[in-house]
Amino acid sequence: MKKPFYKSWLFWVAVVVLGSIIGQIAARNQPDGQADPAATQQAQQTAPAGTSAAEPAAGNPSVSWESAIKQIAQSDTEPAQKADAVEVLAKSYSPSPEELTDFESQVVEEYNAGNYLAHIEDAEYMLTNLFKAVVVEGKHTDGEPIKEFAFDFYQNTKNTYRGADAVDGDSVKANEAQMDKALAEMK
């Protein structure tokens, strides 16, 4: 009498291999932004009813992004995850023209005052600067000096906050030289 096919070891090897292949295909087909960091989800839950964390609350346009950043800063996640969550928030944020102008002047002021890397331990401060830089950089076209400035400001803020670069490191200094060049072009 012949053994049933499901009792053969070759059948079970084929099942495991096929299951693995299907799992990898499904993972590849999942959109990149599908799994937002947990901190972003916490921040979205704290937004006023009827709004998302990326949308301003009626009557007070700064409430939702500021409260979202505060929630992200206070979360129990690593700095890299916090920075990623703020980037997701900033990329989906649509500032008013006045708010964009305010963000532009604020990141330039923080840099000129020498404050932007002076408070690395203050997560809310660093994440706020990161948010503003990502918004400014994302709302301008390539070649504009403010876009170039905001990108280097973002790089230094993110990398020092995450601990990837030292405040006095070579890459930070190189980015600051590029920021000085962009500031000269803006005048």
pLDDT per residue over 101-149, tens digit each? 999 999 999 999 999 999 999 999 999 999 999 999 999 989 999 999 9
The CA-to-CA distance between both ends of the chain, in Å, stands at 90
22 vs 139, residue with greater confidence: 139
Which burial class, exposed, middle or buried, applies to 45 when counting CB atoms under 10 A from its CB (0-12, 13-18, 19+)? exposed
Over residues 163-175, the pLDDT tens digits come to 999 999 999 999 9
